[in-house]
Amino acid sequence: MMPKRKKICVVTGCRAEYGLLYWVMKKIAEDDELQLQILVTGAHLSPEFGLTWREIEKDGFVVDEKIEMLLSSDSPVGIGKSAGLGVIGCSEALQRLAPDLLVLLGDRFEIFAAAQAALFARIPVAHIAGGDTTEGAFDEAIRHSITKMSHLHFATNEAAVQRIRQLGENPAHIFNVGSPGIDYIKNSTLLSRDELKAELGITFHDKNILVTFHPATLEKASAATQFGQLLDALALFEPDWGIFITKANADPEGRIINAMADEFAAARTNAYTFTSLGQLRYLSLLKEVDMVVGNSSSGLYEAPTFKKPTVNIGARQQGRLAASSVIHCEPATKDIVRAIREAAVRDFSLVENPYGDGHSAEKIVAEVKKIKDFKSLLKKHFYMTAAT
């Protein structure tokens, strides 16, 4: 008789996170010793953000649980209440699913809610992409909090490994596996420029910019002020440059950014906005443009693989490991224009991505399978690091 398969539950709350988790989920689903469970929540279930849970099912996965938690509000109070609903919903779902291990990625409030539910349910957690720093957003505190509630740690780089050790985690349970987002690039057939034009109804120009901007939740200046500076900079490059704007996540002030983006694009023939491109179309568009502009982690994680420059605006990603193709600038029109012009003329053909080689998913699954008794991970000891 074959041994009982271990139930591995993966939680996803937004489109970008699912794209990073895709190959991890696929490797789990393909393994004879593991049983994949999928818990979907957050923006995936919102019509405003494109009902992106449907893309998960289109990819051939079965969604086991849908947890509604996102209120129709992007205020701090609304986000706080949404997180609370997430803890309640995830607690009930985990009781039904009874997984042996919960897999979480990143630092969003939806994932924080799932981590808390797992803590109280005594379900071990494997956390992907812990140990990074993003000093301009409250995601920084969320990420490190999830680390302390987790038992297996799959970091994307060596500096992150060291930070996880500083948090007192067991060195034997910390692994540098790289970013699973690169797996998607390496294993996928991306769309051509003509296919993108047909699917998205866009026109490419002599130069093209992919814009991804999210609220920097700990900045003094509002998201509207910062994004307004970016739009003022982009306006100086029309009409010869194509501008493709992906909308913000369900963060405080995210709706303001999205409304401003729509207004900007409606007044121009060279600008387009997208509620959700999905990972395949997003990465395909990234391959075809000349640069990424904004403050998304994708500009640091994925763009260097394509040898494309990133204009990283403001403090949202401050402290995160960055390739030499990342040009940092202040959220001010003059500084953004300078950085875009620099990105347009520099040669980035020799850039190396510091986030791995595209084999993260198989490394994660291999380490998970080495654990014979997941419950043995629950009691944690604080490991002191050597004085420096």
The pLDDT tens digits along the chain (388 residues) read: 567 899 999 999 988 889 899 999 999 999 999 999 999 999 888 887 788 899 999 999 999 999 999 887 778 898 899 999 999 999 999 999 999 999 999 999 999 999 999 999 999 999 999 999 887 678 889 999 999 999 999 999 999 999 999 999 999 999 999 999 999 999 999 999 999 999 999 999 999 999 999 887 667 778 889 999 999 999 999 889 999 999 987 777 788 999 999 999 999 999 999 988 888 999 999 999 999 999 998 999 999 999 999 999 998 888 888 999 999 999 999 999 999 999 999 999 999 999 988 999 999 999 999 999 999 999 999 999 765 4
CB-CB contact of 254 with 214 (8 Å): yes
- What is the C-alpha separation between 322 and 303, in angstroms, rounded? 11
Confidence (pLDDT) at 281: 94
| Helix or strand holding residue 39 (H, E) | strand 34-41
CB-CB contact of 327 with 312 (8 Å): yes
- What is the C-alpha separation between 161 and 255, in angstroms, rounded? 35
Pairing of strands 326-329, 291-294: unpaired
User: What is the distance in angstroms between the CA of the first residue and the CA of the last residue of the chain?
Assistant: 53
Q: Which of 188, 197, 349 is nearest to 288 (CA)?
A: 197
Pairing of strands 101-105, 125-128: parallel
Confidence (pLDDT) at 388: 47
Confidence (pLDDT) at 232: 97
Largest CA distance in the chain: 68
Same fold, 6-178+358-377 and 189-345: yes
Confidence (pLDDT) at 135: 74
Confidence (pLDDT) at 319: 83
Q: Which of 271, 269, 202 is nearest to 230 (CA)?
A: 271
- What is the C-alpha separation between 35 and 158, in angstroms, rounded? 30
Q: What is the dihedral of CA 220, 221, 222, 225, to 10 degrees?
A: 180
pLDDT in tens, 97-142: 999 999 999 999 999 999 999 999 999 999 999 999 887 678 889 9
Residue 333 sits at the vertex; the CA angle it makes with 331 and 338, to the nearest 5 degrees, is 95
- What is the C-alpha separation between 378 and 135, in angstroms, rounded? 29
Confidence (pLDDT) at 218: 67
Q: Looking at residue 70, what DSSP letter applies?
A: -
Topology classification of domain 6-178+358-377? Rossmann fold (3.40.50)
- What is the C-alpha separation between 25 and 29, in angstroms, rounded? 6
| CATH code that applies to domain 189-345 | 3.40.50.2000
Our measurement of the distance from residue 83's CA atom to the centroid of its chain's CA atoms, rounded to an integer in Å, reads 18
> What's the length of the chain?
388
Q: Looking at residue 384, what DSSP letter applies?
A: P
- What is the C-alpha separation between 279 and 231, in angstroms, rounded? 24
All structural domains of the chain with their residue ranges: 6-178+358-377, 189-345
pTM given for the model: 0.86
Question: Side-chain half-sphere of 348: how many Cα atoms within 13 Å?
Answer: 23
Cβ neighbours of residue 336 under 8 Å, at least 6 residues apart? 229, 230, 233, 293, 311, 313, 329, 330
Query: What region does 60 belong to: left with phi over 0, alpha with psi -120 to 50, or beta?
Result: left
Confidence (pLDDT) at 386: 67
Q: Looking at residue 5, what DSSP letter applies?
A: P
- What is the C-alpha separation between 36 and 317, in angstroms, rounded? 32
Confidence (pLDDT) at 203: 96
CB-CB contact of 218 with 137 (8 Å): yes
